[in-house]
Structures are given as structure tokens and as C-alpha cells.
């Protein structure tokens, strides 16, 4: 008997849906909201809008924005102390993957105590978390629907993966309007993250028919819209489709988990403080090459989802068209550089590879990978 679970929060989607953030927070029992964001989102005016809607329903607020693009353990610790001291009883995040991950990690420490390392891995959270509402400002991370919090351990210089159904927010508010204020480079990088989510969840060992629907739809939407979204940040049709792609990819990987690309990029991000999506762009085609023999029929379908004509191709030939399609897209959106250009050096590879072997995302990779395999992929991605 095949038994699977599928989880997702309440989702509010559409242009102007940020207006629902106050009503949503009140509905889950908030009286004083801890609002997590970053300086770029604040400068763009989205936090002021969120505050307006929160205050309109009578909620008090406390803002926390002391975080970086790859959030660190000490930033979470500071946030948790701030949350407790301010007497908040709910958490709202407005921003990309970084504010969302910090919000989730703050929720863990504020309610469960201890250190973040105590929760690294799968299902190590024992006490209920404060209610959470998430409004993403990028089309990439999918954190608004995911059971993941990814935080840099500054001592070990790696990203910890904390995975628990407790981390799935109560309400996700996806407003494509928020994407307009992100520049082309960030649109490219976050879009690449969403695409990697779609691909890795589709070939995951934990994939199910329900996750497949979302994964494939995400790949199709990104193939049709990411180039447009990068070329014209005011293209609201492309932005709306990318917001939906990020959301559906997030739903897919939240239930099917990911694979070797994310197990590896978590290590690169922790060491070099690069944007996660750029690291994905460097590594994904090489992981696809490695995984191709494990599920060629799935890669052939990915090629079709990318818009490749696979009607008269054999299984392996069609599967390889998926890798070709990914390389073309990466080049078109300006992310075709290797890890060496990001600052990765040969001497880092053995440690990164050993750390990747212990990342929870590797468990669902469709092909078993040894430390030597991972080292070889890192070298190809240089």
C-alpha cells in the first residue's frame, strides 16, 4: 500500500492580496504582531503597507529587520529575544526567503528554547509555534508554504536545514505586486530557485501524483515566463505567472522534498554567502546529468515541460534535452557562471561534500550519491 501525506497552508493569491494581511493575522488570534522583514522590502514601501492593514484591524506591531540575505544563527537568536521581550503573540513575515526563514526560526526558539542546532534535521520541534502569516516579496523560495527553515550556522559555515510540519505557516498571502520592486538579477536568481524546486521535487524519491501536478506546472510556468520577467520588471502578467510558479513549486517540494542540488547549494551558501539561486544555476545542470540514469522518463517529461519537442526522441535523448533546455534558460537570464567565479576554491570541496552528504535533502535524491560523487559534481560546477 502506498500512503502519502500532502500539506499546505491556507493560501490567498492575487494582485492586491497584501490587503488581507491584517484580517488574516487577526483571524489566527494575533493581538501583537512580530513583523519580520529586511531593509530592501522596507525601502520599497511594502512594510508600511502591511503595517497599515495590521493597524486597521487594531493589531499592535513590532518590526524586526536585522538580518542578511543568507540569514545567520545569531540574527535568529537576536530576533527571538526581541520577540519574547516585546510580548508578541504572532509572527508575520513580509519579504523573500530570508525574512521568512528568520521568522520561522524565531518562532522555534521563542516557543521551544535551546539552540537552533537542536532542531536541525527532521521533526525535532516538540512544542507548538506561534501562529504565522507569510507574504513573499520574491518568486523563488516558496517558504510561504514550506516546512523548511534554512539558517547559516556561522561556526560550521554551512546552512542548517530544519524541517518540520510545524513550520508550515497558517496563512500564505501571495501578492504578485510585491515582485515589481525587485531588480532583474534578483528576479533571475529567485526564479532559478523556483525552477530547481520544481525539477528536484519532480524527480524526488518522495514524489507523488499530487506533488507531480504542482512540480510540472511550476516548470511550465517558469519556462514560459522567467525570461520575460527578467527582461521587463513591470510585466505584471509574467510576474503573476512567476508568483504562481514559485507557489506551486513550493507546494511540490514541501511534500516531496528536494535533492542533491539543494544539499550542495546549502553548503556553498553557508561558506560564500552567495545568493542561493545563483548557486543553484551553477550546480543544477551537473546534478541533472548525474541523476539522469535513475529516471530518464521523468527528465524527458521535464524537457517537454520546458518546451522541447520530444515527440520523436528516445528516452535518453529526450531526457538530455531537459539539461539542454536548462542551460539555455540559465544563459538567457544571465546566470551562466561557475562556482569558481563565485569564489569557491578547490580546497573547499572535500569539506563541502562531506557536509552535503549529511544534508536532509540528499535523502530523496533519485540516485544514491557518495562523497566522491558529490566532489566530482562540485568540480564540474566550478
Nearby residues of 63 by Cβ (< 8 Å), 6 or more positions away: 35, 37, 42, 47, 51
- Does residue 5 have a pLDDT over 90? no
The answer to whether residue 126 is domain-embedded is: yes
> What is the radius of gyration, based on Cα positions, of the chain?
20
Question: What is the SS3 assignment for 319?
Answer: helix
| Total tally of structural domains belonging to the chain | 2
258 and 344 together in one domain: yes
- Does residue 72 have a pLDDT over 70? yes
- Does residue 379 have a pLDDT over 90? yes
Q: What's the sign of the alpha-carbon dihedral 19, 20, 21, 22?
A: positive
For the full predicted model, state whether its pTM sits above 0.85. Answer: yes
pLDDT per residue as tens digits for the range 306-348:
999 999 999 999 999 999 999 999 999 999 889 999 888 999 9
pLDDT the model gives residue 264 = 94
Question: In the listed set 178, 194, 212, which residue is the last one of a domain according to the structure?
Answer: 178
Where residue 44 sits, what CATH number does that domain have? 3.40.50.1970
pLDDT per residue as tens digits for the range 76-133:
999 999 999 999 999 999 999 899 999 999 999 999 999 999 999 889 999 999 999 9
pLDDT the model gives residue 70 = 85
The answer to whether residue 144 is domain-embedded is: yes
The answer to whether residue 306 is domain-embedded is: yes
**Local confidence band at 45 (pLDDT 50, 70, 90 cut-offs):** very high
The answer to whether residue 311 is domain-embedded is: yes
Assess contact for 323 and 288: CB atoms under 8 A: yes
Domain span at residue 109 reads 10-178
How far separated are the first and last CA of the chain, in Å rounded?
Answer: 43
How many other β-carbons are positioned within 10 Å of the β-carbon of residue 169? 29
Amino acid at each position: 500500500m502506498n500512503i502519502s501525506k500532502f500539506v499546505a497552508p491556507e493560501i490567498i493569491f492575487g494582485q492586491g492580496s497584501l490587503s488581507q494581511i491584517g484580517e488574516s493575522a487577526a483571524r489566527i488570534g494575533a493581538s501583537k504582531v512580530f513583523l519580520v522583514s529586511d531593509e530592501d522590502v522596507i525601502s520599497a514601501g511594502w512594510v508600511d503597507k502591511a503595517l497599515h492593514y495590521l493597524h486597521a484591524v487594531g493589531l499592535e506591531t513590532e518590526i524586526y529587520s536585522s538580518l542578511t540575505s543568507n540569514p545567520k544563527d545569531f540574527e535568529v537568536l537576536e530576533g527571538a529575544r526581541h520577540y519574547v521581550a516585546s510580548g508578541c503573540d504572532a509572527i508575520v513575515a513580509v519579504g523573500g526567503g530570508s525574512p521568512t526563514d528568520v521568522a520561522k526560526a524565531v518562532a522555534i526558539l521563542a516557543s521551544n528554547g535551546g539552540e537552533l542546532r537542536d532542531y536541525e534535521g527532521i521533526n525535532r520541534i516538540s512544542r507548538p509555534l506561534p501562529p504565522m502569516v507569510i507574504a513573499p516579496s520574491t518568486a523563488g523560495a516558496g517558504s510561504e508554504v514550506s516546512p523548511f527553515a534554512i539558517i547559516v550556522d556561522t561556526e560550521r559555515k554551512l546552512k542548517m536545514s530544519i524541517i518540520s510540519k510545524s513550520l508550515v505557516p497558517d496563512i500564505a498571502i501571495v501578492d504578485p505586486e510585491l515582485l515589481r520592486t525587485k531588480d532583474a538579477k534578483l528576479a533571475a536568481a529567485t526564479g532559478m530557485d523556483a525552477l530547481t524546486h520544481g525539477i528536484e521535487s519532480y524527480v524526488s524519491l518522495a514524489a507523488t501524483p499530487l506533488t507531480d501536478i504542482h512540480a510540472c506546472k511550476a516548470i511550465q510556468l517558469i519556462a514560459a515566463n522567467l525570461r520575460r520577467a527578467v527582461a521587463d520588471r513591470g510585466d505584471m502578467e509574467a510576474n503573476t505567472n512567476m508568483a504562481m510558479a514559485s507557489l506551486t513549486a513550493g507546494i511540490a517540494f514541501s511534500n516531496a522534498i528536494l535533492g542533491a542540488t539543494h544539499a550542495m547549494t546549502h553548503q556553498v551558501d553557508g561558506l560564500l554567502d552567495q545568493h542561493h539561486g545563483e548557486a543553484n544555476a551553477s550546480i543544477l545542470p551537473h546534478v541533472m546529468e548525474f541523476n539522469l540514469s535513475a529516471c530518464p522518463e521523468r527528465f524527458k517529461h521535464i524537457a517537454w515541460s520546458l518546451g522541447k519537442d520530444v515527440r520523436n526522441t528516445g528516452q535518453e535523448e529526450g531526457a538530455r534535452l531537459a539539461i539542454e533546455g536548462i542551460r539555455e534558460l540559465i544563459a538567457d537570464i544571465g546566470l551562466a557562471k561557475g562556482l569558481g567565479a563565485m569564489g569557491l576554491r578547490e580546497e573547499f570541496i572535500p569539506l563541502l561534500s562531506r557536509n552535503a552528504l549529511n544534508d536532509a535533502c540528499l535523502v530523496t535524491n533519485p540516485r544514491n550519491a557518495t562523497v566522491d560523487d558529490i566532489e566530482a559534481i562540485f568540480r564540474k560546477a566550478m
